[in-house]
């Protein structure tokens, strides 16, 4: 067992909180609790928010915690919130986060495993460089049994060196405006970020929203290191997988449905929040967000017939907005080929 190092912050005012959300997570929760209790830098508290589980997930979490709690100063304290009715993943995380008392908050899924140095390295990054509002990392993908899949999260997302360099260089908002790279299970952030990010809009997942708001207001940083084993299994509420060529073609040919309207609503929610924040955001962030909104509205208004879409898509592609706010030529092809 790793010997943990307790933070010097008095227990009455926790330094680092863990917002752990559960839903029918009995199979894996004990391993997750143990991995948090084995951190070389211990968090001060775990706030577990259970979203109306139908299994004994919470009881198992309590048992796993009690197994380590013979010395109350050697483990994070555990607080449990129960939802009588399910709130859904974003609202449940919002509830857990609001209940946290720490100056720093780490997000945590029920079915992953923290690597022993995760908390320490995240906290070190919080106090280094540009003093970012949020830090996130890579992750090692594993199967339901915990066996490595031979690929990392960033590899599955095809994260580029340019994207990583952009975040390292203080251009995180431009990177995350184009697409989300922040996976909450790897992330920690300053409590002060909540002054800008709460309430979470329903159009966004909690981790995506925290990432883009941090980038707009205080900055983000990324560690090119796997901080967790990110478990992939059939019951993931949110997961990661690399799309092969066939999957990409199938996705491109799928009906448009309400995807375009959903993307526009997300962009509108971001613009609305940045407008409220005013001079608290980075210069140029609001203008960029408004251009992203215009791009998404353009895509939502594309004609139903594929042939009629070709010219407006070509104009938008030539403007460079597909490259700045989506997947470039890949996004344009997807818009052209999507079924009506």
| pLDDT tens sequence across 299-311 | 999 999 999 999 9
**Residue 319: pLDDT over 80:** yes
139 Cα distance to chain centroid: 12
d(CA 336, CA 289): 24
Q: Domain 11-231 falls in which CATH fold?
A: Spore Coat Polysaccharide Biosynthesis Protein SpsA; Chain A (3.90.550)
Percentages (nearest 5) of helix, strand, coil residues in the chain: 45, 20, 35
**Residue 13: pLDDT over 90:** no
pLDDT (average), residues 242-256: 49
**Residue 242: pLDDT over 80:** no
Specify which residues 274 forms β-bridges with.
Answer: none
User: Can you give the pLDDT at residue 114?
Assistant: 98
User: Residue 146 corresponds to which tokens in the numbers above?
Assistant: 């915990």
d(CA 44, CA 14): 5
Task: Residue 279: count other Cβ atoms within 10 Å of its Cβ.
Answer: 5
Contact yes or no for 305/340 (Cβ under 8 A): yes
Contact yes or no for 101/17 (Cβ under 8 A): yes
User: Can you give the pLDDT at residue 255?
Assistant: 56
pLDDT (average), residues 144-152: 95
**Residue 253: pLDDT over 60:** no
> Between these two residues, 251 and 172, which has the higher pLDDT value?
172
pLDDT (average), residues 270-280: 98
User: Can you give the pLDDT at residue 206?
Assistant: 98
User: Residue 269 corresponds to which tokens in the numbers above?
Assistant: 């929610």
pLDDT (average), residues 97-118: 97
Q: Which of 163-172, 218-227, 239-248 has the lowest mean pLDDT?
A: 239-248
d(CA 42, CA 63): 19
C-alpha distance from residue 40 to each of 1, 2, 115, 119 (Å): 10, 7, 10, 8
285-300 helix and 259-277 helix, angle to the nearest 10 degrees: 160
d(CA 220, CA 209): 12
User: Residue 233 corresponds to which tokens in the numbers above?
Assistant: 């299994």
User: Can you give the pLDDT at residue 258?
Assistant: 81
Contact yes or no for 48/60 (Cβ under 8 A): no
**Residue 189: pLDDT over 50:** yes
**Residue 160: pLDDT over 60:** yes
Could you give the residue range(s) of every CATH 3.90.550.10 domain in the chain? 11-231
Q: What contacts 39, CB < 8 A, 6 or more positions away?
A: 2, 4, 114, 116, 117, 118, 119, 120
d(CA 270, CA 177): 10
User: Can you give the pLDDT at residue 237?
Assistant: 45
**Residue 281: pLDDT over 90:** yes
Q: Which of 86-100, 134-148, 228-242, 252-266 has the lowest mean pLDDT?
A: 228-242
Closest CA to 65 of 47, 41, 86, 50: 47
Q: What contacts 36, CB < 8 A, 6 or more positions away?
A: 18, 20, 43, 46, 76, 108, 114
The DSSP-derived string for 45-67 is EEEEEE-S-SSSHHHHHHHHHHT
* Summary mean pLDDT of the chain: 91
User: Can you give the pLDDT at residue 73?
Assistant: 66
68 pLDDT band (50/70/90 cuts)?
A: confident
250 pLDDT band (50/70/90 cuts)?
A: very low
69 pLDDT band (50/70/90 cuts)?
A: confident
User: Can you give the pLDDT at residue 244?
Assistant: 52
Contact yes or no for 187/136 (Cβ under 8 A): yes
**Residue 31: pLDDT over 80:** yes
Task: Determine if the pTM surpasses 0.95.
Answer: no
Q: Which of 10-24, 35-49, 177-191, 306-320 has the lowest mean pLDDT?
A: 10-24
**Residue 239: pLDDT over 90:** no
d(CA 310, CA 77): 58
Hey, is 166 helix, strand or coil?
helix
């Amino acid at each position: 067992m790793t010997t943990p190092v307790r933070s010097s912050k008095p227990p009455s005012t926790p330094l680092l909180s863990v917002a752990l959300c559960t839903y029918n997570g009995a199979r894996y929760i004990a391993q997750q609790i143990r991995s948090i209790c084995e951190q070389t830098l211990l968090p001060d508290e775990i706030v577990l928010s259970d979203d109306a589980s139908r299994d004994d997930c919470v009881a198992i979490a309590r048992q796993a915690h009690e197994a380590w709690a013979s010395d109350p100063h050697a483990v994070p304290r555990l607080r449990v919130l129960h939802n009588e009715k399910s709130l859904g993943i974003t609202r449940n995380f919002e509830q857990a986060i609001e209940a946290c008392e720490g100056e720093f908050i780490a997000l945590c899924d029920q079915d992953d495993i923290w690597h022993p140095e995760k908390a320490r390295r995240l906290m070190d990054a919080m106090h280094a460089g540009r003093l970012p509002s949020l830090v996130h990392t890579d992750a090692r993908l594993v199967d339901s049994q915990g066996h490595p899949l031979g690929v990392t999260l960033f590899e599955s997302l095809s994260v580029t060196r340019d994207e990583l360099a952009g975040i390292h260089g203080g251009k995180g908002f431009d990177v995350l405006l184009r697409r989300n790279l922040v996976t909450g299970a790897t992330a920690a952030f300053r409590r002060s970020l909540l002054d800008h990010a709460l309430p979470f809009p329903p159009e966004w997942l909690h981790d995506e929203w925290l990432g883009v708001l941090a980038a707009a207001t205080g900055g983000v940083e990324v560690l090119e290191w796997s901080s967790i084993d990110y478990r992939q299994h059939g019951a993931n509420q949110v997961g990661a997988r690399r799309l092969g060529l066939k999957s990409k073609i199938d996705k491109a040919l799928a009906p448009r449905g309400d995807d375009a309207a959903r993307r526009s609503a997300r962009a509108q929610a971001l613009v609305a929040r940045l407008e409220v924040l005013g001079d608290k955001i980075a210069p140029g962030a609001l203008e960029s967000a408004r251009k992203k909104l215009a791009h998404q509205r353009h895509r939502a208004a594309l004609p139903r017939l594929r042939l009629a879409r070709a010219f407006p898509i070509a104009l938008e592609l030539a403007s460079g907005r597909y490259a700045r706010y989506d997947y470039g030529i890949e996004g344009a092809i997807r818009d052209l080929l999507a079924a009506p």
